[in-house]
Amino acid sequence: MGICEERVCIVTGAGRGIGREHALMLAEQGAKLVVNDIGGEIDGSGRSTGPAQDVVDEIVASGGEAVANGDDISTWDGSERLIQQAVKVFGTLDVVINNAGILRDRMLANMTESEWDAVIAVHLKGTFGPSRHAASYWREKVKAGETVDGRIINTSSPSGIYGNVGQTNYGAAKAGIAAFTVIAAKELARYGVTVNAVAPAALTRMTENLGMGQADDMTKAMMSPRWIAPIVTWLASSESATVTGRVFDVTGQALSVAEGWHRGPTQEHPTDDPALLGAVVQRLVAEARPNANMFGYDEK
């Protein structure tokens, strides 16, 4: 008996990398899976049913239950069909893990409109769509007098919560997902649904072109995407019912709770003369904690 026994889970972008590890570990812990993946390249181009079906075949061969889904979760209809498939095949839905993502990195001065729109669509709308349709399903169950023990687990990134050069599109989407997580957690608590997020750093095909592909064997083992799956699997279980609205930084084998924006040094009743405001701002900035670097620590 695993900690997710009989839990019906959707994992988007589960054909490869981090999503694949989520699906495999959830299945090991007894979950029933809808494995979503359009089978595209890291920039979102192309389609193939192969990656999702390969993961399904692996789960079934190990004695688990899983079905493949190839819907585009960045579309309203695609995300709705995904939720409907889980309910139709398994009779209910307990967990949505929004993991699908693409990269179209570019420095801001050179970024195209399509590079911005594509990344925002897959990450931000691709988190909203499945979450919204799942939330509606759970709300109706509660209205019908049923008990819900639901989970939404989103995927943010160090690029979003800390910031990374060359990723204004990706970072903006991932920061939006972190904010979405906090707000959705407040809204859905009344229905018995928790909402959390992970901000993972791992060696996958999306990061190998960022220099991680040249890492030594020890680093590759430490940064394996399989280290992301345990916290996601625990969050998907009934054991996590008291944890909501949090973002977990998962960098290799290190697990942290990311601490969001807080009000820092404050000047009550600052001057209304902009010519005199500079001294106030300079003092506040000097007293404030510096922004974090890409590793989540204070900039030096």
Active site residues: 157, 170, 174
Phi (first) and psi of residue 262, to 5 degrees: -130, 150
Instruction: Yes or no: say if 257 and 243 are a contact pair by the CB < 8 Å rule.
Output: no
Residues 6+ apart with CB under 8 A from 163: 171, 291, 292, 294
- At 88, the amino acid letter reads K
User: What is the arrangement of strands in the sheet containing 254-258, beginning at the earlier edge strand?
Assistant: 65-69, 32-36, 8-11, 95-98, 150-155, 193-201, 247-251, 254-258
Q: Both tokens of residue 255? A: 């697990």
Phi (first) and psi of residue 217, to 5 degrees: -60, -40
**Cα distances (Å, whole numbers) of residue 264 to 3, 56, 122, 285, 287:** 40, 48, 33, 9, 8
Residues 6+ apart with CB under 8 A from 131: 96, 98, 152, 154, 180, 184, 195
Look at strands 247-251 and 254-258 and give their pairing.
antiparallel
If you search the block for the tokens 């585009």, which residue do you land on? 72
Angle formed at CA 67 by CA 252 and CA 57, multiple of 5 degrees:
70
* Among the listed residues 122, 117, 26, the one whose alpha carbon sits nearest the alpha carbon of residue 71: 122
